[in-house]
Amino acid sequence: MKIPFSTILLDLGGVLIDVDYHAAARAFAALGFSDFEALYSKAQQDHLFDGFETGELSPDQFRDRIRELHTSALTDAQIDHCWNAMLGSVPPERLTLVARLKDRYQVLLLSNTNAIHVPAFERIIARENGITDFKSLFDGAYYSCEMRLRKPHAAAFHHVLERHAADPERTLFIDDSIQHVEGARSAGLHAEHLDLAQEDVVQLMERLGLLVP
């Protein structure tokens, strides 16, 4: 690409870790919570989930709210199992991609996530990829529930970039959610939408010419 990027900012869900947003709804439906998908989707979330992603709600408060909505006595373990059902694997070639990018760029991670998903996907990556410190793969890794800021708000992008003296005009953000891509562009970053129906992040980086041969 013509722009000499110095920083690559990556999303997590859908970009590095496979995610099935309908799997949680299917798991809850199996326990009788048939309208869960109306509350949660990739593109639009109920305030309950936004609040959980910014740390305004604790895991216990989130679980209690799910029980209120379901009007049944789901256990904490049942709720966590259903909620984590959307989390898949991280193909090894995507971790190799991160390492290759770090040879040339400052590589950062910015994920909208929550305090139940974080330990769950860290366990998956430890078990399947043998990595016990996921954040150490990046020059900086940020979770919305810890920052108390979330995409697509400009403050989330600026917080991360300022921590690493990264110039927005020389930063490329990659996300599979178009609203986050648009938010990054509004915040002054360059951004590419990863269309998962067409390619994965490795193919996108190759197409953009950002990998050293």
| Each residue's pLDDT tens digit, 106-143 | 999 999 999 999 999 999 999 999 999 999 999 999 99
Domain, as residue range, for 164: 7-19+91-208
Q: How many domains does the chain have?
A: 2
The kind and range of the H/E element at 123 are helix 117-129
Query: 71 with 100, same domain?
Result: no
Query: 195 with 149, same domain?
Result: yes
Query: 156 with 171, same domain?
Result: yes
Angle between helices 76-84 and 117-129 (to 10 degrees): 60
In the β-sheet with 7-10, what is the strand arrangement from edge to edge?
Answer: 140-143, 106-111, 7-10, 171-175, 190-193
Query: 104 with 77, same domain?
Result: no
Total-model pTM: 0.93
Lowest mean pLDDT among 1-5, 65-69, 128-132, 189-193: 1-5
Query: 194 with 101, same domain?
Result: yes
What DSSP string describes 52-101? Answer: HHTTSS-HHHHHHHHHHHHTS---HHHHHHHHHTTB----HHHHHHHHHH
Query: 109 with 131, same domain?
Result: yes
Residue 22 has pLDDT above 60, yes or no: yes
Kindly report the CATH number assigned to the domain that includes residue 202: 3.40.50.1000
| pLDDT tens-digit map of 59-105 | 999 999 898 888 678 999 999 999 999 999 999 999 999 999 999 99
Query: 80 with 12, same domain?
Result: no
Query: 182 with 118, same domain?
Result: yes
> pLDDT tier at 43 (50, 70, 90 boundaries)?
very low
- Is residue 166 in a domain? yes
Residues 6+ apart with CB under 8 A from 169: 3, 188, 189, 190
Query: 114 with 200, same domain?
Result: yes
